[in-house]
Amino acid sequence: MEKFRQILNDLETLKFDMHNKDFLLTWEKTQDEIVATVKVAEALKNLYERNISCKVFDSGLAVSQFRDNSTRTRFSFSSACNLLGLTVQDLDEGKSQIAHGETVRETSNMISFLTEVIGIRDDMYLGAGHTYMQEVSKSLQSGYEEKVLHQRPTIVNLQCDVDHPTQSMADLAHLKNYFGSLENLRGKKIAMTWAYSPSYGKPLSVPQGIIGLMTRFGMNVTLAHPEGYSLIPETLEVSKKNAAKSGGTFNIANSMDDAFKDADIVYPKSWAPYHVMGRRTELLRANDSAGLKDLEKDCLANNAKFKDWECTEEKMRLTKGGKALYMHCLPADITNVSCKAGEVRDTVFDRYRVETYKEAGYKPYIIASMIFLGRFKNARAMLAELEKKGQKRVAQ
């Protein structure tokens, strides 16, 4: 109860206005808005753990649109919506009129008559996912202004080609809890490194999300990857500016060992090179299956040149005191478990398995917080009212 009161007090000191707004990229949000999102997530988690209902909706839809496979984010979105009292409806494009050429503007309005939030995952096409979300956003705004919609649903980015805000924000909440506070992250070194994978085509949005967010908290962020595995240039510029503003640092290295040296946190994760994702997008749009197979063959052969980019016991000993926190968005390619050779050695992953599960466990609350802040102008008052009502979530 004291912790909950402290969260409410903290929210009172922050300046944020996220009502009727989308959550697409973390770097579009102010520092107070980022902190408020973490605080509201903590408040909802606190209420849930005290068996207090967080249902703020008696009815309403949450539309779930996944254009790529997902486990954690899909279930986290459903869990978050259920926590708040919303019913989730999947938008299956194959069973909708989208397959017959219905426009984005029309679809956006037709699914939104009684909808509170639309969660979209669109990370397959470089240069398209974020653009698609922006188009949906404009369509909803027009529908609201033209009085087609009596309210404007909030859009939550469940991963696009540019950013994965629900993941990076869950990671931030995990780090806050692990190190005690956001202030304690200042000066900590986090190594966001590429790691070998026996598959190709993994999106760039996780590493981009991490470097774009963690540089805002005075952290010393090192991005490491083999030559040629670069990210979208604009996201590097965002990270540089964030680091300069926060008093942290942002460095790019071509050595996993150098990145791991004296690191407090390591985040070894595979991704496809920027230019490869661009080429893959062209082939996908052209339905060129032969071209895609050739590209995959070439990329896997290139990946194989860097099998030593693996999070091993030896590399972990290079970290600060040999005890850096290992992080991953999951599922990890685990050597000797899910593959012969992968991102992380089985012994390392097993030692940090519980921590990675806890890391993932923040995502439902982060998503619920994004919805909460998008739908309610006075989030603090709504949270206080939930506690005051004290309705039991489970009868006891």
Instruction: Provide, rounded to the nearest whole percent, the portion of the chain with pLDDT above 70.
Output: 99
How far apart are alpha carbons 283 and 124 in whole angstroms? 12
Q: Mean pLDDT, the chain, as a whole number?
A: 96
* pTM higher than the cut 0.95: yes
- What does the pLDDT read at residue 1? 86
How far apart are alpha carbons 192 and 225 in whole angstroms? 9
Q: List the chain pLDDT tens, one digit each, 396 residues.
A: 899 999 999 999 999 999 999 999 999 999 999 999 999 999 999 999 999 999 999 999 999 999 888 999 999 999 999 999 999 999 988 767 776 678 999 999 999 999 999 999 999 888 999 999 999 999 999 999 999 999 999 999 999 999 999 999 999 999 999 999 999 999 999 999 999 999 988 999 999 999 999 999 999 999 999 999 999 999 999 999 999 999 999 999 999 999 999 999 999 999 999 888 889 889 988 999 999 999 999 999 999 999 999 999 999 999 999 999 999 999 999 999 999 999 999 999 999 999 999 999 999 999 999 999 999 999 999 999 999 999 999 998
Three-state DSSP class for residue 344: strand
- What does the pLDDT read at residue 99? 65
Residue 98 contacts by C-beta under 8 Å, 6 or more apart in sequence? 107
How far apart are alpha carbons 55 and 197 in whole angstroms? 41
Straight-line distance from the first to the last Cα atom of the chain, in angstroms, rounded to the nearest whole number: 19
Q: Identify the structural domains of the chain with CATH numbers, from first to last.
A: 2-163+363-389 (3.40.50.1370), 167-360 (3.40.50.1370)
Q: Which amino acid is present at 249?
A: T
- What does the pLDDT read at residue 69? 85
Q: Which residues pair with 62 in a beta bridge?
A: 88, 117
Give the tokens for residue 31: 């520092």
**Which DSSP letter does residue 335 get?**
E
How far apart are alpha carbons 315 and 27 in whole angstroms? 31
Q: In what order do the strands lie in the sheet with 220-224?
A: 249-253, 220-224, 189-193, 265-268, 325-326
Per-residue pLDDT reduced to its tens digit, 188-204: 999 999 999 999 889 99
- What does the pLDDT read at residue 285? 86
Three-state DSSP class for residue 79: helix
Q: Which of 36, 267, 80 is nearest to 169 (CA)?
A: 36
Per-residue pLDDT reduced to its tens digit, 209-221: 999 999 999 999 9
